[in-house]
Amino acid sequence: MSGWNATVELLREPRISFFLAGRALAATGIWLERIGLAWLVWELTGSAGWVGTLAFVRLMPTLVLTPLGGVLADRLGGIVVLRWSFAGAALVAAGTAALVFSGSAGLWPVMGVGVLAGALQAIATGPMKSALFEVAPRHRLATIVPLGSVTFNLAGFIGPALAGLLIATVGAASVFVLAAATSAAFVAALVRVRPTTPGVTAKGQVVADFLGSVGTARRDPVIAPLMALHLAFALLLRPIIDLLPVIAGAFASGDAEALGLLGAALGLGALIGSLWLTWRSGGESGARALSGRILAGGALAAVAAVALALSLSAVQAALCLFVLGAALVVRGAGGNTLVQLTVADTERGRIMSLWGMALRLGSALGGLILGVSAELVGLRTVLILAAMIACVVLFPVARALTGALASPSHKD
């Protein structure tokens, strides 16, 4: 069955279509909140270092709360955890809108909102991925995982562009009003979703449960190199998303329209990358073919980051961000799919939380490092160095992953 036919068949099931539609709305809200907070900080300070610091504090809760979300997903089911976490996200976004409306959105209140929003997103990180298994059978994972990435990256196209448009025409408060509405809509969609696979009732201590899955990830010859690559790219190239206001200032006019243009280019590229991966995956794509796409996506992302650093106009920067968005999604969603196909069902929530934690912690630390470094040596230099280091990491990961998948013990 081709990728598109498998996708159409999957979307005919109401629980899957409800879940994916709600997920797209929730992801749009996450992007709105992310860009809205970054814009507030940039407007208040004009500092790349402070924008990077926001990315760091927004993701600080990850270390504690992402493992908790994974354990809760394995015990209660991902759908249940998502209902509660996004209900909280709706309240936080509504509160942020009230702060902006009242003129109380100073630097420290905005940083506090970043911590609260980050805490709720940290809890939802693993459940958002493992819930795909609850709404679709295992043999459909190769289709629904990239399809789930399509919904997120459709939001990545709409969210930044919509945020820029709203900031320019209505004001920053409207961004958070809409973010609250999208989170509430996702909760309503989740109420209608009846999972086919209940959450695994795991027993024992939360920390012990999670550390056991860390050991599994370290020992598995496929998951370990994928995790290493995922963390490296989270540190080196993923923070470019959080630095979009800085990039708009360096390569374009720096106003809200420029931010919307560059954000839309990044998001459109991510959407195209997701659609391509869905088409190529279908239900029968082998692990070796998928690993090749993951590695190629990583290499292309590094090339796009160097090209971005050498851009001389807003149009060139937008084209580079388009390619970067597509490449990052092929690498990230491809890795997500391969991990989901490899991991045991009993550890899915915890392993996917670990996957999400690597992304969130890496992005937080990377955003801080890249933001501060850009203040010291310049954005262009930082982008080139990050891309070069990412290429260095790719080589040993490619060797380890290729060897593991070529082993007779691995079933393609």
The pLDDT value given to residue 384: 95
Of residues 301 and 261, more confidently modeled: 301
* pLDDT for residue 374 is more than 60: yes
Residue 369 predicted with pLDDT over 50: yes
- Does position 302 have pLDDT exceeding 90, yes or no? yes
CA angle 43, 103, 113 (to 5 degrees): 70
Residue 88: pLDDT band with limits 50, 70, 90: very high
Q: What pLDDT does 137 receive?
A: 64
The per-residue pLDDT for 7 is: 66
Q: pLDDT value at position 201?
A: 47
pLDDT tens digits, one per residue of 313-322: 888 999 999 9
**Can you give the pLDDT at residue 391?**
93
In this prediction, residue 226 carries a pLDDT of 93
Indicate the pLDDT class of residue 232, thresholds 50, 70 and 90. very high
- Coil, helix or strand for 192? coil
pLDDT at 396: 92
Please say if the pLDDT value at position 30 is more than 50: yes
Q: What is the mean pLDDT of residues 210-234?
A: 86
Inter-residue contact 367 to 278 (CB < 8 Å): no
What angle in degrees, to the nearest 10, is found between the helix axes of 107-135 and 141-169?
150
pLDDT of 291 above 80: yes
Mean pLDDT of 63-73: 79
CATH H-level, domain 3-406: superfamily: MFS general substrate transporter like domains (1.20.1250.20)
- Residue 199: its pLDDT value, please? 47
> What does the pLDDT read at residue 23?
86
Comparison of pLDDT for 15 and 113, the residue scoring more: 113
User: pLDDT band for position 156 (50/70/90)?
Assistant: low
Task: Identify the residue with better confidence: 72 or 97.
Answer: 97
pLDDT for residue 1 is more than 50? no
Highest mean pLDDT range out of 59-68, 181-190, 274-283, 361-370? 181-190
Residue type, position 45, single letter: T
Residue 257: pLDDT band (50, 70, 90) is confident
Check residue 175 and give its pLDDT. Answer: 92
Whether residue 196 is predicted with pLDDT greater than 70 in this model: the reply is no
Query: 3-class SS at 291?
Result: helix
What is d(CA 46, CA 34) in angstroms, rounded to the nearest whole number?
17
Per-residue pLDDT for 182 more than 90? yes
Contact 305, 387 (CB under 8 A): yes
Q: What is the pLDDT of residue 260?
A: 74
